[in-house]
Each structure stands twice: as structure tokens, then as C-alpha cells.
Amino acid sequence: MERGISPHMPAPAGSWLCRDDRDRERMLDMEERVRPVRRRALVIVALALAASGPWTGWLPLAVMVPSAAIFIAADRLTPRVSRPENVMFATWVVAEVVLALAVVLAGAAGAAALSLLAVPIITLTSRFSVRGVLAGVAVVLALTLAAALGFDGSAVSAAPMLLIAPVAVILSVAVLSMPLMRSDIEHRTDAVVDRLTGMLNRKALDARVHELRLQSELTGEPVGVIIADLDHFKSINDSGGHNAGDRALQDVSTVIRKQLRAFDLAYRLGGEEFLILVPGSDLQQAAALAERVREGVFASELAGGLHVTMSLGVSASGLGRTFDYDSLFDEADAALYRAKRSGRNRVCVAEQDSAARGEPALA
């Protein structure tokens, strides 16, 4: 068991684009779904500009090339940062600026293409909160006005519909997309969040494991895995009923979340078992976090004056060791078994110089 290690300081989980880690998890999941669709949309816009080339010239099409490069760079950077929403929003804004520039370079004929600026709003509402959508719509409206005046201000003055029509399209797309966004958030939250504790569930874990595997391959940074299990949970249900057990799980979940950084994520695996993924932490750092969680649970008085303890097993992928979730889970699970067998209410770390035993944890 590791004790006395200086903990890394938790960082705030929320940002102006994501309210919490669950919001960030939903956004990353949707980004995976949007990426191939976005590529097809870029191809459609490029084909439209190519078809218009004899009348507008080929410079607008050439300007679209950096847009593809920007998205490729952003896709590589996103898994490497703790707040990927900032990268994603900045990339979205740059892509809109490039599209507006292409419209301006089309000259007077570009007035008909102004409505294309509304297309990316659909991807905006599918990923970000209302605050992010409003900020994005404001950016698009400003770019639309600048583009309209940029290619022929006198033409817009003579025929205001050249500006009014695309603005109406932009606002309509945003308004119609918002209910779809809210519905998606509700259904996706139900799908990836454990209803009892509010923690992420196994479905959300699968997506995060895939992302961390890619991140580990890019950066070579370690990833810690912590498995935590409430001690003698059956006795809580036997003495106080299932309602007492449910309240205990809810309170313990709150204690666990308070110990985490913005990019550490906790999951309920089922029953009284939890899992924490700790990106960027080696075995010693992950063990320090596990010890803080154990101490926090031990020191807390839960609903009804209940006191509980927790046993935890820890493993980690060291530097130069690829993040292999299955093997790390087995190692942490074996360490958890040793913690239970050694008297419970303690942290044990994986014996990484030998194969994990895969023994079942005690109750």
C-alpha cells in the first residue's frame, strides 16, 4: 500500500463549453460520430465550389484546402489535451472563417453561397452546450455580415435580401437544431450514466478506453487504473434494506468525485464496485489518488449516520508500456483481492513483475 505521496491537485471539471466530465464524455462520443459526416460535407462544399469555378474562379476552392488540414491536425491534438472542447471549438471557428473567405473570394457571385455558412451550425449543436451554440451562431452572423459587405457592399444595399436570406437560414438552422440537441443529450445521458449514482457506466467506459489507448500511443504517457469496492456492503443491505444500500452508494460516489481532477473519470461497474481511470499518472500517483479516496470514504458520515470503508486495487501502464486496459484491469482486480484478503480498508498496488492472478474479490 502506498501512503504519504504528494497528491496532484484537482482541477475544476467544468469549462465554458462543457459543464462537467459527463458533458465532455458526451461531446467526445458525438465527435467520433460527426467526424466522417463532416468529411463528406467538406467534399460536397468543395464540389460546389469546383462546379462554380468557371464563374467564380478557382481561388475559393484553393482556400478550402487548409480547412481539411486544420481538421486533421485537430483530430490528432484532441486526445492529447485535458480540455478537448477548446480545441474543437477553435477548429470549428477557423473552418467557418476559411469558408467565409472562400465566399468573399468568389466575388459578387458569392452572394448565393452565403447560406453555406449555416451548414457547420448543425455540427455545433450536436456537440456543444447552449452557451457554445450561441457563441458559434454569433461568430457565423458576424462572418456573414463581413462576407456580404466584403464582396459587394453596394449590391447588399441595393438588394438587402442578399444578406437577409442567409441570416434567416442561419438562425432557422440554429433554432431547429436546438431541440434535436436537447433530445440527444437526454437520451445519450440515459445511455451512458448510471441512474442511481450519476456516475458513468460501462458503455461510457468502452468509449473512454478506446480514446485513452489512442492517446497513450501518441504521447507515451502512463494511465492509472483503480478498482474500488465497498467493504461488507451486503451487511448494509441486510441491516438497513436496499434503500440504505442505495443511499450509501450515492454518498460514496459523491466522495469519490470530489477527489478527481478534470480529466480523471469514475465509473460504476455494478453493485458496489467502481473504477477510476487516471490519465497521465504512473503507479505511484494512481496509488496516491486511491489512498485519498479511501481516506475520504473512511472519514465521511453517510446518510443515516452510516460509516463505511473501501478497499482499492491499483495498476498503471508505465512509460513505454502501451495502455492495455484488459491486462491493467486484471492486475488492479488482483490487487483489490489482496486488499480484501489482507483485512480490507486499504490500498494495494499491482504486482506488475508477474502475471495478474485474476482471483475474484471478496464481499
User: Which is it for strands 310-317 and 347-349: parallel, antiparallel or unpaired?
Assistant: parallel
CA 280 vs CA 97, 214, 216, 260, 283: distances in Å? 34, 13, 9, 13, 10
Confirm if 89 and 17 have CB atoms less than 8 A apart: yes
Residues 6+ apart with CB under 8 A from 181: 125, 126, 133
| Residue 260: all three cell numbers together | 478527481
CB atoms within 10 A of CB 196: 13
Closest CA to 280 of 258, 262, 294: 262
Query: Which SS3 state, helix, strand or coil, does residue 173 take?
Result: helix
Sheet holding 310-317, edge to edge: 265-270, 273-279, 223-230, 310-317, 347-349
The residues carrying an active-site annotation are 272
The single residue listed with the C-alpha cell 513505454 is 320
**Whole-number Å distance between alpha carbons of 190 and 202:** 12
Q: Is 242 exposed, middle or buried (0-12, 13-18, 19+ CB in 10 A)?
A: exposed
Give CA separation, 319 vs 122, 219, 278, 325, in Å.
Answer: 40, 10, 14, 15
SS3 (DSSP) at 100: helix
Burial of 244 (0-12, 13-18, 19+ CB in 10 A): middle
